[in-house]
Amino acid sequence: MHKVIRDIFCIFAVTFGLVGCMTYQDLKTREPLTSFEIADDYRVVYRKIVSKARECNPVSSFIVNADLFGDIRAARISSNAPGVTELFAYVIDIRATGDGKTAVELRSWGATGAKIARNLKQWATDTKSACDSATISYESP
């Protein structure tokens, strides 16, 4: 039953141009839209990105989730529809790769991910101080 609800929501969202959505497992099989390594601690990078992801949420009807996993030195930031927790507009995976170095990967489907991809490195390095609504706002693919 839950899969049927998920599928109906996704069809509705795509049909009406709201957002592209996929399960986390589906997103993990896709190549990252962008990936990079940055010379900073994964926790610092996580805090910078989650702050901007919430401030600049490209899909205002979706919730930005943030999880920090200290035991494996990693973090995940994602956006999903309220009440439909397994449908994601995007997932950002952050992980420590060495002393003071962090890898960042963005996986998404549709125009939302492309908008975030253009801004993600600036968010991670804190070189973009404000949201540029013309750049980050959602547009139909």
Place of tokens 């693919």: 141
Those residues whose C-beta lies under 8 Å from the C-beta of residue 50, and which sit 6 or more positions away, are: 64, 66, 75, 77
Q: Which pLDDT belongs to residue 140?
A: 39
CATH architecture of the domain 2-136 equals 2-Layer Sandwich (3.30)
Q: How far apart are alpha carbons 2 and 16 in whole angstroms?
A: 21
Question: 129-133: which pairs have CB atoms within 8 A and are 24 or more residues apart?
Answer: 131/52, 131/55, 131/56
pLDDT at 97: 96
Average pLDDT along the chain, 141 residues, taken 10 residues at a time? 49 43 69 90 94 77 88 91 68 92 88 79 77 46 38
Alpha-carbon span 64 to 129, nearest angstrom: 19
pLDDT of residue 130: 55
The owner of tokens 């589906």 is 26
In the predicted model, what is the mean pLDDT of the chain?
75
38: nearest Cα among 117, 135, 91, 105:
105
Element spanning 69, H or E: strand 63-69
* Cα 25 from Cα 86, distance rounded (Å): 9
